[in-house]
């Protein structure tokens, strides 16, 4: 079975500072990994995904994530935080084969300090 | 890109009544759709997989008779919360494997439906 662990339910960074949201996964098969963002009272929007191609994945809004198999990690980063980045971020994993069910982490709420 | 539409976005109902939530794939066909439930400040929990032309597959612990799922067509899945009670109040989100940019069956999510049972 697959699972993801997001370290830190709340992260606060100053505007313009580096954003680092942590995600570690557990999977018995090569995983597909995703980061989604959720704004208040909205559904989820895909930020980026890893599907066994390049280990450094670039997404929308300046976010990127690096797949590190040795560390079983898929941390999300952005060099310079913007006020509009304030939201809930979810890491998710699914089996690379089989159905498309996603297992989500518990989420990290990102707050941007002006 | 792929768009999933949910309706209604907000619904308030009295305890004991039933509420239907629709999930539509607007510009693509979806033989499978997924229904998630999200409690305040918590993660998404998969409730069931909706399958066009066959019965839904429910996750362990989800009451089939309470949460009726019907995948009526390749673009529509509905979730009916029967005899709703206050504990059923939650944010319900559907998703469908869309034809994402990469073609890697990326899930596209609806905007969610917030159910409040009085």
Residue pLDDT, tens place only, A49-106: 998 778 999 999 999 999 999 999 999 999 999 999 999 999 999 866 656 788 899 9
Lowest mean pLDDT across A7-21, A32-46, B17-31: A32-46
Structure tokens at A76: 């999300």
For residue B71, the tally of other CB atoms under 10 A from its CB is: 22
A72 by DSSP, 3-state: which? coil
- The closest of B117, B115, B89 to B15, measured between CA atoms, is B117
Q: What is the mean pLDDT of residues A20-28?
A: 93
The answer to whether the Cβ–Cβ distance between A105 and B43 falls below 8 Å is: yes
| DSSP state string for A96-114 | SSS----EE---EEEEEE-
pLDDT the model gives residue A53: 78
Q: What is the mean pLDDT of residues A15-25?
A: 97
Chain A positions touching B46 (Cβ under 8 A) are 101-103
List, in sequence order, every beta strand (DSSP E) within chain B: 4-7, 10-13, 19-25, 32-38, 44-51, 57-58, 67-73, 76-81, 90-97, 107-109, 113-117
The answer to whether the Cβ–Cβ distance between B114 and A45 falls below 8 Å is: no
Give residue-wise pLDDT tens across range B56-115.
999 999 999 999 999 989 999 999 999 999 999 999 999 998 765 545 567 889 999 999
pLDDT the model gives residue A100: 73
Taking only residues 45 to 84 of chain B, the set having a beta carbon closer than 8 angstroms to any beta carbon of chain A reads: 46, 49
Chain B positions touching A101 (Cβ under 8 A) are 34, 46, 49
The answer to whether the Cβ–Cβ distance between A46 and B112 falls below 8 Å is: no
Chain A positions touching B50 (Cβ under 8 A) are none
pLDDT the model gives residue A64: 97
Is pLDDT at B19 greater than 90 in this prediction? yes
Q: How far apart (Å, rounded) are the C-alpha atoms in residues A73 and B101?
A: 24
The answer to whether the Cβ–Cβ distance between B43 and A49 falls below 8 Å is: no
pLDDT the model gives residue B101: 54
Lowest mean pLDDT across A22-31, A60-69, B16-25, B48-57: A22-31
User: A96: alpha, beta or left, given left = phi > 0 and alpha = psi -120 to 50?
Assistant: alpha
Structure tokens at B61: 């612990």
Q: What is the mean pLDDT of residues B9-37?
A: 94
The chain A residue lying nearest B34, using CA atoms, is A101
Taking only residues 85 to 114 of chain B, the set having a beta carbon closer than 8 angstroms to any beta carbon of chain A reads: 91, 93, 95, 97, 100, 102, 104-112, 114
Write b or e for each residue in A74-107: b if 16 or more Cβ atoms lie within 10 A of its Cβ, otherwise e.
bbbebeebeeebbbbbbbbbbbeeeebbbbbbbb
For residue A30, the tally of other CB atoms under 10 A from its CB is: 11
Point out the residue among A101, A105, A106 whose CB comes nearest to the CB of B34: A101
Q: Under a CB-based contact definition with an 8 Å cutoff, are residues A74 and A33 in contact?
A: yes
The chain A residue lying nearest B5, using CA atoms, is A43
Q: How far apart (Å, rounded) are the C-alpha atoms in residues B109 and A17?
A: 30
Chain A positions touching B41 (Cβ under 8 A) are 109
pLDDT the model gives residue B2: 80
pLDDT the model gives residue B99: 63
pLDDT the model gives residue A43: 83
- Compute the CA torsion angle A72, A74, A75, A77 (nearest 10 deg): 150
Point out the residue among A49, A101, A104 whose CB comes nearest to the CB of B43: A104
């Amino acid at each position: 079975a697959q699972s993801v662990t997001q370290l830190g339910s709340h992260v606060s960074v100053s505007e313009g500072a580096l954003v680092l949201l942590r995600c570690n996964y557990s999977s018995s098969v090569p995983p597909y990994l995703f980061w989604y963002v959720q704004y208040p009272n909205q559904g989820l929007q895909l930020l980026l995904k890893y599907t066994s191609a390049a280990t450094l994945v670039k997404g929308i809004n300046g976010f990127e994530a690096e797949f590190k198999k040795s560390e079983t990690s898929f941390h999300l980063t952005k060099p310079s935080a913007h006020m509009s980045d304030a939201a809930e971020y979810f890491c998710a994993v699914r089996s690379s084969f089989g159905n498309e069910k996603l297992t989500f982490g518990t989420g990290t709420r990102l707050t941007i300090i002006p | 890109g792929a768009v999933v539409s949910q309706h209604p976005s907000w619904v308030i109902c009295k305890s004991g009544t039933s509420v239907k939530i629709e999930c539509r794939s607007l510009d693509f066909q979806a033989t499978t759709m997924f229904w998630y439930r999200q409690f305040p400040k918590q993660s998404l929990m998969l409730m069931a997989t909706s399958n066009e032309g066959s019965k839904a597959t429910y996750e362990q612990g989800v009451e089939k008779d309470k949460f009726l799922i019907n995948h009526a067509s390749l673009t529509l899945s509905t979730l009916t919360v029967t005899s709703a009670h206050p504990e059923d109040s939650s944010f319900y989100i559907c998703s469908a494997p869309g034809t994402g940019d990469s073609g890697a069956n990326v899930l596209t999510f609806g905007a969610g439906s917030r159910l409040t049972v009085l």
